[in-house]
Amino acid sequence: MTKVAIGSDHAGFDLKGRLGEVLEELGFEPIDFGTHSSESTDYPDHGHAVSGAVSNGECQLGVLVCGSGIGMSMTANRHAGVRAALAWSEEVGEMARRHNDANVLVLPARFIDEGTAFNILKRFLQTSFDGGCHERRVKKIDMAQSAEEE
């Protein structure tokens, strides 16, 4: 069963819970990295936890939710091998997988409704990476990150 790391800050807490249920319904194993309440929390704490689990191979994919999705995206993309994509429509979620081989989906809880979030998640999970010319481009992302770490 594919493990999907999932996390949010307080703004995404309610949506995260429902997304976890959708993941289970679709046959995935959600691993919840918090937050576990609607109390104010710092998004980087949960963004790093989820992205670390994807980066180290503990989980194959990740889902992050915060108010705008911007902070979580910035945090997630600091991790080697993580390609986090902020999606606000099904088409954007699909293209993130198809052309960018995104392995972490980021959703903006304050800007999309629950149904849209579910549809984006489903489309993201059902889409495969096209490879081809896109593979060369994705490798260039990781190469730039590797050069910075040296």
Selecting among 10, 46, 48, 99, the annotated active-site residue is 99
Give the pLDDT band of residue 26 (cuts 50, 70, 90).
Answer: very high
Mean pLDDT (whole number) for 26-37: 97
> Is residue 62's pLDDT more than 70?
yes
> Count of H helices and E strands in the chain?
6, 5
Check if 46 is active-site.
no
Residues 6+ apart with CB under 8 A from 112: 88, 120
On whether the CB atoms of residues 84 and 53 are closer than 8 A, the answer is no
The whole-number pLDDT of residue 150 equals 52
pLDDT tier at 143, thresholds 50, 70, 90 = low
3-state secondary structure (DSSP) of residue 106: strand
Q: What is the pLDDT of residue 141?
A: 82
CATH homologous superfamily of domain 3-149? Sugar-phosphate isomerase, RpiB/LacA/LacB (3.40.1400.10)
